[in-house]
Each structure stands twice: as structure tokens, then as C-alpha cells.
């Protein structure tokens, strides 16, 4: 089980988008690709912008996207999630998008591995 926490007053969506638009180190330019005629033999990884769009929808409707508020009694700034939600959030964290938006992802398994 992982915990997603908003660590700023509010999400910084423009900051997240600017990080998502940067090409990761070592990844070649893909402008030569034809989006209307994709090569089905090439298994390309998900685009980080897809995960960012998923994240925006997940914060609007958390229950539909595998996130549960930690405390229903207060204005929520922390959610718990697992499974598919954790895969999306992990990719966003690994690319720096989650941090740029003002969120942290706390995973008990990762914390034990570091200790």
C-alpha cells in the first residue's frame, strides 16, 4: 500500500506539465515518427503525458481510479492506493512529474529497502 500526499498548498499543474514535456536523458527524438501510421511491431512505452492526464482525472474522481482518502472527515490531501494507481504514480514519480506537481509518493516497500 502506498500513500500519495500533497505537500504544497495546491497542485502545480504547469510545473508538472513542463517536466513531463522534457525528454528524459538518453531517449532519442521521436519527431520522425508518423502518428497516423504507427509500426505495430515496435512496442513503445507509455507516454508520461498519458499518466499525467490519468492523474488529473484521478484527483477529481479518486474512487474511480484506485485512490482512497486517508481521512473522510477532513479536506483530503493524502490518499492511499495500490495496483494500477501505483503503476501510474510510480512512473510519474520516477520522471519527476509528481514532485513538480507538489506531491510525494510514500511506499513502505521502498522505505524498507533504503533502511
| pLDDT (tens digit per residue) in 27-49 | 766 665 556 666 655 555 568 88
Residue 53 has pLDDT above 50, yes or no: yes
Spatial separation of the C-alpha atoms in residues 34 and 68, rounded to whole Å: 39
Q: Please name the residues in contact with 85: beta carbons below 8 A apart, sequence gap of 6 or more.
A: 58, 65, 66, 67
Q: Is residue 38 part of a domain?
A: no
For residue range 80-89, what is the model confidence (pLDDT) as tens digits? 998 899 999 9
Q: pTM of this prediction? A: 0.76
- Residue 30 placed within a domain: no
Is residue 71 very low, low, confident or very high in pLDDT (cuts 50, 70, 90)?
confident
Domain of 17, in residue numbers: 2-22+47-114
32 belongs to a structural domain: no
- State the DSSP code for 31: T
Q: Does the residue 34 lie in any domain?
A: no
41 located within any domain: no
Decide if 90 is inside a domain. Answer: yes
Place 64 in a pLDDT band, splitting at 50, 70 and 90. very high
Could you give the number of structural domains in the chain? 1
**Quick one: CA dihedral 24, 21, 28, 50, positive or negative?**
positive
Say if residues 16 and 52 touch (Cβ distance below 8 Å). Answer: yes
Amino acid at each position: 500500500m502506498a500513500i500519495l500526499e500533497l505537500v504544497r498548498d495546491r497542485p502545480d499543474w504547469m510545473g508538472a506539465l513542463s517536466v513531463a514535456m522534457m525528454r528524459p536523458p538518453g531517449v532519442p527524438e521521436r519527431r520522425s515518427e508518423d502518428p497516423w501510421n504507427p509500426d505495430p511491431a515496435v512496442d513503445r512505452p507509455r507516454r508520461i503525458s498519458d499518466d499525467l492526464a490519468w492523474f488529473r482525472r484521478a484527483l477529481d474522481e479518486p474512487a474511480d481510479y484506485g485512490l482512497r482518502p486517508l481521512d473522510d472527515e477532513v479536506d483530503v490531501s493524502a490518499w492511499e492506493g495500490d495496483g494500477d494507481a501505483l503503476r501510474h504514480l510510480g512512473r510519474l514519480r520516477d520522471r519527476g512529474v509528481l514532485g513538480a506537481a507538489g506531491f510525494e509518493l510514500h511506499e513502505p516497500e521502498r522505505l524498507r529497502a533504503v533502511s
